[in-house]
Amino acid sequence: MSPARAIPTIQRSEQRGNHRGTRIVPHLVVDDAAAAIDFYVKAFDAVELGRIPGPDGKLIHAALRINGFLVMLNDDFPETCGGKSTTPRSLGGTPVTIHLTVTDVDTKFQRAVDAGATVVIPLADQFWGDRYGVVADPFGHHWSLGQPVRELSMDEIQEAMSAQATG
């Protein structure tokens, strides 16, 4: 990736209309952004749009396109957050799951696992009509992958949920 190439940020993407239907852009903090980029390329077929290393080599900004959408990330810089690390590992987990609606969910879920993700929720057909599962990436972020397999009304979803709860 050429350092001279402009790297997308939220503002630049919005100005060009490249937000592709969303203005919410995940910005991940990780312990090793370069390794995270490698993982996301292998696991989710991410396209690296660019990276900006700081003087110490840690990435102060990087941008990827995953499943057609912008994802930004950087290394952890506790010195900019009152001395506190903000990675999922340092916080003891993450309250956020990034969802990818995909086709061929079985293949894509297995690809993430083969790349080093850990299964959090096994891939299965769910009561709301999706085939769905959750993995944790090696950096502590959770990713759900889902594929709609049948269209259900809200009443049908409620019925299916009740049936599942009563066994």
- List beta partners, residue 133: 145
List the structure tokens of 3: 């350092």
Of the candidate ranges 11-15, 44-48, 123-127, the one whose mean pLDDT is the lowest: 11-15
Give Cα 153 distance to the centre of its chain: 28
CATH number for the domain running over 1-92: 3.30.720.120
Each residue of 110-148: pLDDT tens digit?
Answer: 999 999 999 999 999 999 999 999 999 999 999 999 999
In whole angstroms, give the CA distance from residue 66 to residue 73: 12
pLDDT digits (tens, 9 = 90+) for 50-106: 999 999 999 999 999 999 999 999 999 999 999 999 999 999 999 999 999 999 999
Tokens linked to 42: 């292998």
Let me know if the fold of 1-92 is the same as that of 94-167. Answer: yes
List, in order, residues 6 or more apart from 67 with CB less than 8 Å away: 44, 100, 101, 102
pTM, two decimals, is: 0.85
Q: Which fold has domain 94-167?
A: 3.30.720
Phi, psi of 134 (to 5 degrees): -130, 135
Please, what sign has the CA dihedral across residues 119, 122, 127, 131?
A: positive
Structural domain boundaries in the chain: 1-92, 94-167
